[in-house]
Amino acid sequence: MDFLLYEILSRILGAYSLMLIILGTIFNFIIFYICSKKPLRNISTFKFLSILALSDTICLYEWNLKHFTVAYFNIAYNFVYLSWCRLELFLQYTFLQYSAWILVSIALDRLLSTLNNNWRNFYTTGNRIYYYLVFLIILLSGINSPILIRMGYYTFKNGTENLNCLATYENDFTLFNTMSGIHLYLFSIVPFISLVIINSKLIYTAVISKRRKIGLTNEAFKKKFDMTKTILILTIQFIVLTLPSSIVSRFFYVIMIQSRIGKIVLFVCDNFSFSFNSFNIITLYLTNKKFKDELKSTFKIKMDRESTSKFINSSSTIKKDFKGVGSNLRTNS
């Protein structure tokens, strides 16, 4: 690949990475705010989605940010210090896996709620979901903890100290290949298999069995299927956007990073993958009526308050003007 073309493509992809960070942060905090509001926060799915939004935000500030700094400043900021190299990789692996397993938990929770009405009463009351999510992040942090101890190493050549953040396949004493293999299974393969099984059962239970046995009306069926539809679309997005990047990065990274074309392919795959962490708000808005109504209601109230405030300010200004005119008339008379 021509160097000039490589630079142009790198800048374009780097700009997209920065856009993912900015928009993803804004969108995810909106999701967290909407899902934490009173009408939605007692629904189990929205409890999961609120924490998923925070996890997705953290995911955007490691590899994705590095793509931007490399493209525009030729600086791999996470390769400067060994401690930051380890922490950055630990955070990236842990929270990518966390987001994946939250999505699996959402699908499983929906399936169990569909199969057993008592599940919702037991599992969604109080803070049980948050206790479960705390346990999940502690478990994943423990699995990835060797990264904080073993990842990365220094080499010395001609009196110069060089940091090697990622080991090659021939030099695996840092456990990089082992941890990247574990990451592939925890982030992609096992969640992928789990989501396919759970959602297949969910489709059969929610769409076919329930409609056939209960004979729901179209309106009732539409309301009942609304949340299931959201979960199914989020699942499809996750599989389509993240699985190719995980496979390419795990099995072809060392080979592809050595050529310009390979670097661009890795860049594109990562951009697709992190798009999932940035734009879930669009899926929620288009597929879930409760989220859509609450989002519109929130911004409508805010706009109404702003317009009311402007009206009050303008009214007070007019009153002051009239008072000023009246006092001038009395003075002149």
Q: Are 164 and 154 in contact (CB under 8 A)?
A: yes
| pLDDT single digits (tens) 106-145 | 999 888 888 877 776 666 566 889 999 999 999 999 999 9
Q: Where are the alpha helices (DSSP H) in the chain?
A: 3-35, 38-41, 44-59, 63-73, 82-115, 117-123, 128-144, 147-150, 176-184, 190-203, 210-214, 218-256, 260-278, 280-287, 289-332
**Banded model confidence at residue 310, pLDDT cuts 50, 70, 90:** low
Average pLDDT over residues 5-34: 94
Instruction: Tell me phi and psi for residue 267, to 5 degrees.
Output: -60, -50
List, in order of start, the domains of the chain with CATH numbers. Answer: 3-299 (1.20.1070.10)
Q: Indicate if the pLDDT at residue 254 is higher than 80.
A: no
Q: Of 246 and 22, which is predicted with more confidence? A: 22
| pLDDT single digits (tens) 186-205 | 999 999 999 999 999 888 87
Q: Are 224 and 216 in contact (CB under 8 A)?
A: yes
Average pLDDT over residues 16-39: 94
**Banded model confidence at residue 61, pLDDT cuts 50, 70, 90:** very high
Q: Are 266 and 9 in contact (CB under 8 A)?
A: no
The single-letter code of the amino acid at 133 is L
Above pLDDT 90, what percent of the chain?
38
Residues near 19 by beta carbon (within 8 Å), at least 6 away in sequence: none
Average pLDDT over residues 209-237: 70
Average pLDDT over residues 87-103: 95
The single-letter code of the amino acid at 136 is L
pLDDT for res 311: 44
- pTM of the full structure: 0.85
Distance CA 333, CA 195 (A): 84
